[in-house]
Amino acid sequence: MTAQRLDGRKLAKTIENDLAPKVAALTREIGRPPRLVVVLVGDVAASASYVKSKAAAAKRVGITADVFSIQESTTTAELVSTVEAIGRDEHGPADGILVQLPLPDHVDARAVLDAVPPDRDVDGFHPVNAGLLSQGRPHFIPCTAAGVQKMLLDAGVKTRGKHAVIVGRSDIVGKPLALLLASRGPGGDATVSVCHSHTSNLKEVTQQADILIAAVGIPQLITADMVKPGAVVIDVGINRISDGGTSRLVGDVDYDPVADVAEAVSPVPGGVGPLTVAMLLENTFSAAKERKKRSFMAE
């Protein structure tokens, strides 16, 4: 069996093409482009690269993306104060606010993320947005989780009544994705199992999955013998490994052997990553549109 390659780059391009004219129309209505503010702390090469790709994608659809670079030595209180000031539009209108993770170890990431106004929380990490998702009335959905669901829908993967297994229980991917796949409606109605570092029989659980999502951050953890023949496998992991003196990116899935077993599998790079950025753009557009609506109602 040669698995279908789930091309995240192609789908992300389609999303961008659909979004660009909507952004242009909103720009004409509000007299400026929607604006995303990204808070980048420290000098971590990977984080800077992610921020650069987000800014480039925003530019392609007509969204302004400004980066606030903060010294790594910043304190939690200082960073919270900066985020709150951005939320009050003291540095210009901020339709969407994103704090690039990870933050330095000495910073309380939860306190910083909680400082982002829920109506500008385009990453979907604020407890208000997490709570709304848990109640089945999502507002801003974490971008990677939304991207995985979008990939499944685009590929025509039926989730209703299927057993979805997620390896990884993070607040960013695993937990919100479990809620999405179990929710009612398209892309949902699945029976969901969430595995983690204390799951003692991981292989036995993954072998039962009709849809297997790897989001744990362990290079090539998911091997062919862990995959049910004909399963759909989504790889969320992005890991850099050394290979013969050079480094390369791999996912949490051992791609080539798994592709001989699975019906469909997403690659790394070029799979979920571009969709994470595309969902961020959609969230930013929605935030700007909602802001315009609130402003109109207040007049």
Residues 6+ apart with CB under 8 A from 189: 159, 160, 161, 182, 183
Instruction: Tell me whether residue 54 is one of the annotated catalytic residues.
Output: yes
To 10 degrees, the CA torsion angle through 38, 124, 144, 103? 50
User: What phi and psi, each to the nearest 5 degrees, are found at residue 5?
Assistant: -85, 120
Instruction: Tell me whether residue 100 is one of the annotated catalytic residues.
Output: yes
Q: Per-residue b/e over 33-66, b at no fewer than 16 CB within 10 Å?
A: bbbbbbbbbbebeebeebbeebbebbeebbbbbe
95, 121, 123, 252: which is the annotated catalytic residue? 123
Of all helices (H) and strands (E), which one includes residue 193? strand 191-195
100, 150, 175, 228: which is the annotated catalytic residue? 100
Instruction: Tell me whether residue 123 is one of the annotated catalytic residues.
Output: yes
Paired tokens of 280: 């961020």
Residues acting as catalytic residues: 54, 100, 123
